[in-house]
Amino acid sequence: MIHTFLMKFLISLEDVEIVQLKLGVNYKNINQQFQLIYGKHFNYSLTPQITKGHGKWYLSLFVDAVALLQKSNINETDYNEIKLNIMECLMLLFNHATHYEDHILARLDYRYDVTIEDKKLRELYFHLIKKHVEKYRSQQKCTGKINSSGEFEDFVTTIYHSSQSVVTTAYDKEAERIAKGCKVEEYEKNVVRFEVRLQYSHLYYKASHRCKEPIPMQLENYLKENVYYEYLRLYLLSIYPPGNYYKYSVAEQLIHYSPVNASDKTFLKEFLKKTAYKSLSTTKRTYSKYRYKKALNFLKGLGINPILIAKNYPQAPKQFENPLNKLYAKYE
């Protein structure tokens, strides 16, 4: 359910003086000293930092929930254990944990993992999803970066849809760990990880009176299964449409033998050809909003993803099951 999150606590000058005395370092260096003394105890999953702004003192605590609990599947039943660990951390720093109840959730990363054991299929999958929509709401797709030579360089196994408030990401977790020179854990092998990152501005808005159903900015409120799946529906599945991936010849046959009328069959074939040529966004600009949605609904009913497997993609299968099928099934 979750991977990492960031908490903020309003603390006092006395708290700052206590932690400096206990750790024997200036408040600016508490993380390094904390890791030396307590890092192993918390599996190096907690990163504390003290800052001062507008005359007030704050503790920021970045938490890797997976590392903290040493398990890959974190859900709402794990809340109390997470809370106890964080309260223990506060006790070690300040000799009390009263700040916990007033914490502010400043960032949270929801995660959803799928396993694709064949490396070539994982590479094919990233090739396919890069052809999905360039923009969803205010989230803009990013598939690469400008390198040191000033040239655009594609991310091979990562794709972002990002705004200032929410970031949706898909990446090859195993490849990421290897690139960083880190040990690949058993639960990270052959995994494609999807993340929906809620930034401070989004969490702040959701807690405000402007939101129809406000959610207080505290961890417990976001560690609920219904909230988790609603965010996946809104920010993940809205970007990645349902249906299995096919080469055009297979999709054409599925359309040909479907109960769709003849004119709509012609329309769907033309729609897929346009998408195959460039991307789903290109096709979206070609048709009216009505006809675009009509095509997607028809294809969804036939179990066909609007993105096709290119006929010249090396060693590609004729069809490929959508890795998000199990997640889609939860909403049916």
Distance CA 330, CA 319 (A): 23
Q: Which residue has the higher pLDDT, 277 or 124?
A: 124
Residue 146: per-residue pLDDT? 64
132, 143, 171: which is closest to 305 by C-alpha? 132
Distance CA 118, CA 112 (A): 19
Least confident of 43-52, 110-119, 141-150: 141-150
Q: Assess contact for 250 and 318: CB atoms under 8 A.
A: yes
* Mean predicted confidence (pLDDT) in 264-277: 92
Residue 231: per-residue pLDDT? 96
DSSP code per residue over 147-201: -TTS-EEE-SSEEEEE-SSEEEEEEEHHHHHHHTT----GGGTTEEEEEEEE-HH
271, 332, 331: which is closest to 305 by C-alpha? 271
Q: Residue 300 pLDDT more than 90?
A: yes
Residue 162: per-residue pLDDT? 87
**pLDDT tens-digit map of 66-91:** 999 999 899 999 999 999 999 999 99
The per-residue pLDDT of the chain, averaged, comes to 93
Distance CA 312, CA 230 (A): 37
Quote the pTM value. 0.91
Q: Residue 147 pLDDT more than 70?
A: no
Distances, alpha carbon 272 to alpha carbons 20, 144, 245, 290, in Å: 63, 26, 12, 16
Beta bridge partners of 194: 112, 170
Distances, alpha carbon 47 to alpha carbons 5, 22, 38, 59, 67, in Å: 11, 17, 11, 10, 12
**pLDDT tens-digit map of 199-250:** 999 999 999 999 999 999 999 999 999 999 999 999 999 999 999 999 999 9
Residue 179: per-residue pLDDT? 87
- Tokens (6 digits) for 303: 């179990």
Residue 148: per-residue pLDDT? 66
**pLDDT tens-digit map of 151-204:** 666 777 888 888 889 999 999 999 999 988 989 989 999 999 999 999 999 999
Q: Answer positive or negative: Cα dihedral of 71, 77, 81, 82.
A: positive
pLDDT cut 90: percent of the chain above it: 80
Residue 46: per-residue pLDDT? 98
Residue 207: per-residue pLDDT? 97
- Tokens (6 digits) for 288: 């009216």
